[in-house]
Amino acid sequence: MQGQLPRSMKALIDEVKTSFTHDPKVQAMFENCFSNTYETTIRPQDDGTTFVITGDIPAMWLRDSAAQVRPYLILAEYDEKMADMIEGVIKKQLSFIIHDPYANAFNEEANGKRYHDDKTEMTPLLWERKYEIDSLCYPIQLSYLFWKSTGRISQFNEMFQEAAEKIIEIWKTEQNHGEKSNYFFERDNCPPQDTLSHEGKGAPVGYTGMTWSGFRPSDDACQYGYLIPSNMFAVVVLKQLKEIAEEVLDDKILAKKAFDLANEVDQGIQKFGKVEHPTYGTIYAYETDGRGKYNLMDDANVPSLLALPYLGYCDAEDPVYQNTRNFILSSDNPYYYQGKRAKGIGSPHTPKDYIWHIALAIQGMTALTNEEKEEILELFKSTDANTNLMHEGFHVDEPEKFTRPWFSWANSMFSEFLLGKCNLFVKGSPLAK
């Protein structure tokens, strides 16, 4: 939305800048990052919905778009136009889920554009059809936080109920992926992480009570089909859905469905999602197949194991979380990189020795000490390659080498981290407690 910034946004930028009068670098970074999503990625539609591009790719991801506008919920508390814009994002997301709950990214119109000609059930509206649990979590979370921030319930209409029923149906189907699911995805001439094995069905899994995911929030294929942090996110949003169903929709049947499924998934996490590590004690695995195989790592994309308190699955002081955090912020995590200029979590989605600003933001927001939060802020200041914007991944020795110069999600995550340092939180979010 090019043009003048809303008055509410200017006022909040000025408020945050007064907390950093001693640090013009932080002031410039916040002003650029906080306004970036609004100025460059928001596409109002004639039907009152809002399309949000991810940045340098013209498609809308269900995950990214929710995270991109989430910091603006603070403005939506008292700015009706900002609230209207975010409600438009929610309506767009819900319409996409009803169109195809297995897709992760969508076109602005049904023009047939797509990332690749994949073997899966495509429609002209789909940019990509990688099935990721978190794509269905984020719109529920955004609807819930929007309610808590603004008091509005107009987003909880028939379309919301239809989408919610569809999400529960998909997650229950994917509890028995091999027997009940029709989803498949194959891509030719690509790296292994861009396609699913076993004729597009993924590696075999056993029943756990958890729900299966084809891909991670990085859009990389899961090594093992039960992606623990995404299942944890599903538990959180199913409980939020239960609250919505009880307090707004007066729908006891939907509330019970959501609550029962949350418990089934959570029991699966607790039974199959933990391992005993010789160094760190009881920790959460990143993935499992329910047949004895585990993938011990963490990825920079959210949901991640590092992000569990941010998502609301557990408190930051939780002993198993702290054990897991100690593991994933160490060289025992294969995607934790440390160099001359920076250290943090990267991703198999980007090159070796590249860490992500998103992971740094999550580390800062879930840190228990001010010392760690300050350390993260200094890392942000020294790794933006003098652009006053965030990037996807950057090299730990040379931050001037980075991926994706225009990546709105990373800018929003930095903004949320800095707002938190000023004790400005989205209402209803776990960190606001």
Retrieve residue 105's tokens: 């990214």
The pLDDT of residue 3 is 61
The pLDDT of residue 47 is 97
Q: Is the pTM of this model over 0.75?
A: yes
As a whole number of Å, the CA-based R_g of the chain is 20
Domains and CATH numbers, the chain: 7-428 (1.50.10.10)
The pLDDT of residue 75 is 98
Residue stretches of the chain with pLDDT short of 70: 1-3
pLDDT tens for residues 359-385? 999 999 999 999 999 999 999 999 999
Buried b vs exposed e over 165-193: b needs ≥16 C-beta within 10 Å? Answer: ebbbebbbbbbebeeebebbbbbeeeeee
Which residues are CB-contacts of 417 (< 8 A; sequence separation ≥ 6)? 360, 361, 364, 365, 376, 377, 380
pLDDT tens for residues 105-152? 999 999 999 999 999 999 999 999 999 999 999 999 999 999 999 999
The pLDDT of residue 4 is 85
